[in-house]
A and B are shown apart, each in its own frame.
Chain A
Amino acid sequence: MKAYILKKLLALPLILIGVSMLIFVAIRALPGDPARMMAGPEATQEAVDNMRTRLGLDRSIAEQYGQFAYGAVRGDLGTSIKSKLPVVDEIAERMPFTLGLAITAYLLAIAIGVPAGMIGAIYRHGWPDQAVMLLAIAGASIANFWLALMAMNTFSVSLGWLPLLGATSWKSFILPAITLAVLPMAVIARMTRSSMIEVLARDYIRTARAKGVAPGSIYWSHALRNALIPIVTIVGLNFGSLIGGAVVTESVFNWPGIGRLLVDSVRYRDYPIIQGVTLVAVTGVVVMNFLAEMAIAALNPKIRFD
Chain B
Amino acid sequence: MDIIRKKFISARHFALGCAVTGALFVPLSAFASTLTVMQTEAPRSMDPGDQTATFTAAVLDPMYEGLLARAKDLTLQPALATEWSSDDAGIVWTFKLRQGVKFHDGTPFDADAVVKNFTRHLDTKRGLAASGRLRTFIDSVSAVDPSTVQFKLKKPYPAFLALLTTGPCLMVSPVADAAGTIGSKAVGTGPYRLQEYKSGEYVLETKNTDWWGGAAKGADEIKWTWTAEPSVMNMALQTGDADIVNPLPAAFAKQLEANPDMKVNKSDGSAVFWVSLNTKLKPLDDLRVRQALNYATDRAGLVKAIMQGNATPANSPLAPVTPGYDKTLAPYTYDIDKAKKLLADAGYPDGFSMTTIVQEPEARIGELLQAMWAKAGVKLDVQRMESGVWSKAAFADPAGKATANTGSVIASWSSGVNGADLQFRPLYHSASASPASANLGFFNDPKLDELIDKAASTLDEKARDAIYVDAQKEVNEQAPHVLLYTTQDLYAARNSVKGTWVVPGGLVVVKEATKG
Contacts and interface: CB of A to CB of B under 8 A. Distances in A.
A40 B50 CA distance: 9
B53 interface: yes
Contact of B387 (A43, A85, A267): A267
B229 A256 contact: no
Given A50-B124, A252-B232, A269-B388, A40 B22 contact: no
Nearest to B28: A168
Which secondary structure dominates where chain A touches chain B?
Answer: helix
Nearest to B133: A42
A156 B437 contact: no
Interface in B27-44: 28, 41-42, 44
A188 interface: no
Contact of A31 (B232, B235, B239, B389): B389
A46 interface: yes
A268 B10 CA distance: 41
A263 interface: yes
Interface in A131-167: 149, 152-153, 156-157, 160, 163-167
B200 A152 contact: no
Contacts of B126: 50, 54
Contacts of A43: 52, 129, 132, 437
Interface in B1-41: 2-3, 10, 13-14, 17-18, 20-22, 24-25, 28, 41
A170 B130 contact: no
Contacts of B41: 267
Nearest to A220: B3
Contacts of A84: 45, 180-181, 183-184
A41 B201 CA distance: 25
B60 interface: no
Most A C-beta atoms less than 10 A away, residue of B10, B51, B235: B235
Contacts of B286: none
B436 A100 contact: no
B127 A85 contact: no
Nearest to A166: B201
B437 A44 contact: yes
Contact of A149 (B18, B51, B231, B413): B231
A110 interface: yes
Nearest to B131: A47
Interface string A161-200: 0011111111001000000000000000000000000000
Interface string A69-88: 00000000000101111000
A269 B387 CA distance: 10
B393 interface: yes
B322 interface: no
A268 B228 contact: no
A31 to B, nearest CB: 4
A45 B228 CA distance: 29
B225 interface: yes
B442 to A, nearest CB: 14
B229 A252 contact: yes
Given A47-B131, A104-B17, A167-B25, A41 B124 contact: no
A103 B17 contact: yes
Contacts of A164: 232, 235-236, 239, 241
B239 A160 contact: yes
A40 B52 contact: yes
A54 B127 contact: yes
A51 B37 CA distance: 30
Nearest to B231: A149
A32 interface: yes
Given A40-B130, A44-B132, 4 more contacts: A32-B387, A32-B392, A82-B44, A173-B18
Interface of B: 2-3, 10, 13-14, 17-18, 20-22, 24-25, 28, 41-42, 44-45, 51-53, 124-127, 129-133, 180-181, 183-184, 197-201, 225, 227-229, 231-232, 235-236, 238-239, 241, 386-389, 391-393, 395, 413, 426, 435-438
9 contacts: A30-B389, A37-B388, A80-B199, A111-B10, A157-B235, A165-B232, A221-B2, A251-B229, A254-B227
The 6 A-B residue pairs whose C-beta atoms are closest, nearest first, are A32-B388, A100-B21, A50-B127, A40-B52, A83-B199, A84-B183
